[in-house]
Amino acid sequence: MVMYWLVQSIEPSLSKQYIALNTAKDVWDTIAEQYSGENNYARGCDIRNECSRFSQGGLSLVEYYSKLTYMWQQLDSHCSFTPTNPTDVVAFQRYMDKLRVWDFLAGLNPEYDQVRVLALCKDLFPTLQQTYNLIQHEESRRSIMLPSITPGQSALAISRPSVTPNDPKSNPTKKVCDYYGKPRHTKEFCRKLHGCPKGRGGKSTSTRSQAHMSEVLYCSFSSWQ
């Protein structure tokens, strides 16, 4: 009964190799030997490499720290260090803590560079928890300091029409008179079609004054558009 339960609880693609075993103990011992973390040095090496290469990327600070902590816990299951006295225990814990501080800081995104340098320049090397608290404080400060965009500003940004360089109304150099064929003015302000502007008293101005007046009218019209 127990043997049947063990075999049925295993992934079907893997359970066939245990059906021919005689007892439940044989099944259990075989599984333990194959999948036990103890003395599985290759898996321990893989986890260690994953820890050293793992980076924050698109994860939040909490998600990044949680996943890294989980990998450290997996790595601990493959470590067989047994201290012989209390001094060794403290020294080993400090050593492992320092390695994990380096892993944690190395994988942070570039926006934490300044606070990362601050953590590494302390006279007394911080613990892992102190380092995490320091980075978390920096993240909280950033979220407070970043300006928020109001709904009105967002609506203005969305509703504001875009101006393209090829639009004649937005670029005077693109204007061409439909009547005279000359650039930099339109048919409505063409002197060939409408004549030169008059000065005071209904008299025509001099050529230079007329040109000046036309330029003023053109500039005013361009500004209005």
Same domain, 26 and 96: no
- The size of the chain, in residues, is 225
Residue 80 lies in a domain: yes
Residue 9's domain comprises: 2-35
Same domain, 70 and 116: yes
Residue 207 lies in a domain: yes
Residue 155 lies in a domain: no
Last residue of a domain, one of 95, 130, 145: 145
DSSP state at residue 164? -
Residue 193 lies in a domain: yes
Same domain, 25 and 51: no
Report the pLDDT value the prediction gives residue 209, as an integer from 0 to 100.
47
Beta strands, E only, the chain: none
Query: Which single residue is written with the structure tokens 């390695």?
Result: 99
Same domain, 131 and 194: no
Residue 154 lies in a domain: no
Number of domains observed in the structure of the chain: 3
CA distance to 35, 38, 75, per residue, from 78 (Å) = 12, 6, 5
Report the pLDDT value the prediction gives residue 59, as an integer from 0 to 100.
92
Find residue 176's DSSP bridge partners.
183
Residue 160 lies in a domain: no
- Which amino acid, one-letter code, is at 24? A
Report the pLDDT value the prediction gives residue 52, as an integer from 0 to 100.
86
CA-based angle 139:144:147, to the nearest 5?
120
Same domain, 54 and 133: yes
Same domain, 14 and 76: no
Predicted structure pTM score: 0.49
CB–CB of 168/174 below 8 Å?
A: yes
Euclidean distance between CA atoms 179 and 190, whole angstroms: 8
Residue 162 lies in a domain: no
Same domain, 105 and 58: yes
CB–CB of 35/27 below 8 Å?
A: no
CA-based angle 68:69:73, to the nearest 5?
120
Report the pLDDT value the prediction gives residue 216, as an integer from 0 to 100.
46
Mean pLDDT, 10 residues at a time, over the chain (225 residues)? 68 70 76 63 82 91 92 81 78 89 93 90 90 91 68 50 53 67 73 66 48 48 44
Contacts of residues 29-35 at CB distance under 8 Å and 24 or more positions apart, as own/partner, are 31/6
Same domain, 178 and 205: yes
Same domain, 84 and 112: yes
Same domain, 89 and 131: yes
- Which amino acid, one-letter code, is at 78? H
